[in-house]
Amino acid sequence: MVSKLLRFESGRAQVVGSIGSAAGLRETKLVTALAECDLVEIRLDVLAAENALDRAAWHHLSGLPILFTARCHEEGGAVDSTADQRAEWLSLALDDAAAIDIEVANLGQMAGIVATLTARGIPLVASTHDFSGTPPMSSWREKLEIALAAGAAVFKVAARVHSPSDVSALAGFQVLDHGLPVATMGMGPLAPVSRLMCAQYGSVLNYGYLGSVPTAPGQWSAARLKEAIAALEPIVV
């Protein structure tokens, strides 16, 4: 196994260095990643889109926890794919995974791989992404219940934020006790401030990019994000 399984603790902000291209993965040096983030996200959908899906592609990052994601096209994936295809991509990475990200909307279709994660003790990050706006909190609560039922270790929410009230909604959701660790973040022009605020309120996974290609609108570089979060005073509520 390339990396130890992750254990998440509510309120402990970890910085995720997300890699947005096959070239970026090849060029990411272990010493750089260790300095800039706490764990790396490898987007298997990106590698598949570039015909670069090969287990050997990430072995140079051995020793750093790796979160593998096979994002569906509807929630920002780099290529149109079926649930079965994404399950196959994730299966390729299981022996190297510190955690796996699957969208809440696809947990039912991907029940087989979810069961495998449970059997192997690999943490599941159950995620939801809205690239158009910030949905009502009731929508997040409904999806969180599905995540809980699936045995998720983390519930991740990403939404496009258009106003200060949208940023406040994310932080307001983050600060509540949901029965499992939560990661929240905004996308778009207000994303940088939203990501700092959510981290300050205890978001357990805070995404920046490694290399030169952001993997979400308004994303900080991992190095800048890690430095900024380190300078924040945690808020205890």
For the residues of 95-162, what is the DSSP string, one character each?
GG-SEEEEEGGGTTTTHHHHHHHHHHTPPEEEEEEESS----HHHHHHHHHHHHHTT-SEEEEEEE--
Question: Does a structural domain hold residue 131?
Answer: yes
Question: Does a structural domain hold residue 184?
Answer: yes
pLDDT for 233: 85
Q: Which single residue is written with the structure tokens 């990052």?
A: 61
Model pTM? 0.96
| Residue pair 161/134 in contact by the 8 Å Cβ criterion | yes
Question: Does a structural domain hold residue 71?
Answer: yes
Question: Does a structural domain hold residue 237?
Answer: no
**Overall number of domains in the chain:** 1
Query: Residue 3: pLDDT band by 50, 70, 90 thresholds?
Result: low
Residue 129 domain boundaries: 14-231
Residue 1 has pLDDT above 60, yes or no: no
Question: Does a structural domain hold residue 2?
Answer: no
Predicted confidence (pLDDT) per residue in 195-220, tens digit? 999 999 999 999 999 988 889 999 99
Question: Does a structural domain hold residue 7?
Answer: no
Predicted confidence (pLDDT) per residue in 45-75, tens digit? 999 999 999 999 999 998 899 999 999 999 9
The one-letter amino acid at 196: L
Question: Does a structural domain hold residue 64?
Answer: yes
